[in-house]
Amino acid sequence: MMFAKINEFMRILRAACYLLPAMLILGLYGCYIDANDTNDDEPPAVPRGVFTTTGDEQVSVEWYPNNEADLVGYRVWRGNDGTNFDNLLAETAVARYIDTDVRNGETYFYAVSAYDIDGNESGLSPEDARDTPRPEGRNIVLNDYQVFPGRSGFDFSRPDKGSIPWDTSQTDFYFGLEPEVNVTYFYSDNETLMQDLGYHESFDDVDVVPEVGYTTLFVEAIEGHIYALYTPDGNFAKIRVREMSGDEVVFDWAYQPDLDNVQLAPPLNR
């Protein structure tokens, strides 16, 4: 009778070992469940904070990193709208990806999922992350229109021309010095709207330009300032003044060929 009770107790104990947490000790009779025998079916958290930055024939996608111990990486997805993401761009171990398989002037939508060592994958990020890459350029030189009128204007739609005459039908804006007040200005031509966005250390600091708040005619040209422009054709652009002298200005530019699209940020350098 005694041996029968002991055997029954041992049978119950062995069965309990499969239900108790790993390494649970029960007096003299212990049981151990190997963690490798358990199946993890819990996916990582959905990535958050996904945002994009517009570049010249590229889009930078970034997000907040997950902190799961068993995280392997992320999958970056792209779609032609904000609901269907059927194009897997890459798997990456870091919270950033640069998409270079894009065309300037076309809009792309992005989402990110996370996956762990057991193959569990999260849902897609909820943010409305979209971007439209656009052209940009550096070190354009304009001269005072009263001194060198043939090298004082700029046309965003034809940046390969460099500086052009200030008084053509294609000129978006031009540069000049008013000697009476000793102040340099950017002048609007052909009804281009302009807005001074203030001093910025880097051209990267302005990701999008405003949709309102523009003026016409002229704005003072100041070294280090970024200016937003809206052309008569319905395109946004921006410039940043790199250097100034009495009769010359050097600036960087970005132009959005997608009509009424305010995304103008260059690639991230973070």
Mean pLDDT of the chain: 86
Length of the chain: 270
Residue 232, pLDDT > 60, answer yes
| Ranges 34-48, 61-75, 206-220, most confident | 61-75
Dist CA 135 CA 207 (whole Å)? 14
Residue 180, pLDDT > 60, answer yes
Share of the chain above pLDDT 70, in %: 84
Residue 20, pLDDT > 80, answer no
Query: Which of helix, strand or coil describes residue 82?
Result: coil
Kindly state the average pLDDT of the residues 67-86: 94
DSSP letters, 64-83, are: PPP--TTEEEEEEEEESSSS
Number of Cβ within 10 Å of residue 233's Cβ equals 12
- pLDDT recorded at residue 11: 54
Dist CA 82 CA 209 (whole Å)? 22
- pLDDT recorded at residue 21: 46
The DSSP call for residue 47 is P
Q: How confident is the model at residue 94 (pLDDT cuts 50, 70, 90)?
A: very high
Integer angstrom CA distances of residue 268 from 183, 203, 204, 264: 33, 10, 7, 12
Look at 24-28, 169-173, 179-183, 215-219 and tell me which has the smallest mean pLDDT.
Answer: 24-28
Q: Give residue-wise pLDDT tens across range 193-204.
A: 999 999 999 998
Q: Give residue-wise pLDDT tens across range 132-176.
A: 999 999 999 999 999 999 999 999 999 999 999 999 999 999 999
Instruction: For the chain, list the domains and their CATH numbers.
Output: 2-37 (no CATH), 51-131 (2.60.40.10), 136-255 (no CATH)
Number of Cβ within 10 Å of residue 269's Cβ equals 8
Structure tokens at 269: 């350098």
Do residues 253 and 39 lie in contact, with contact meaning Cβ atoms separated by under 8 Å? no
- pLDDT recorded at residue 202: 92
Q: How confident is the model at residue 207 (pLDDT cuts 50, 70, 90)?
A: confident
Residue 10, pLDDT > 70, answer no
Residue the block writes with tokens 């996370």:
114
Residue 80, pLDDT > 50, answer yes
Of the two residues 179 and 92, the one the predictor is more confident about is 92
- pLDDT recorded at residue 36: 54
The DSSP call for residue 151 is G
- pLDDT recorded at residue 8: 57
- pLDDT recorded at residue 2: 46
Do residues 110 and 230 lie in contact, with contact meaning Cβ atoms separated by under 8 Å? no
Do residues 122 and 114 lie in contact, with contact meaning Cβ atoms separated by under 8 Å? yes
221 CB contacts (<8 Å, ≥6 apart)? 175, 184, 185, 186, 241, 244, 249
Q: How confident is the model at residue 208 (pLDDT cuts 50, 70, 90)?
A: confident
- pLDDT recorded at residue 243: 96
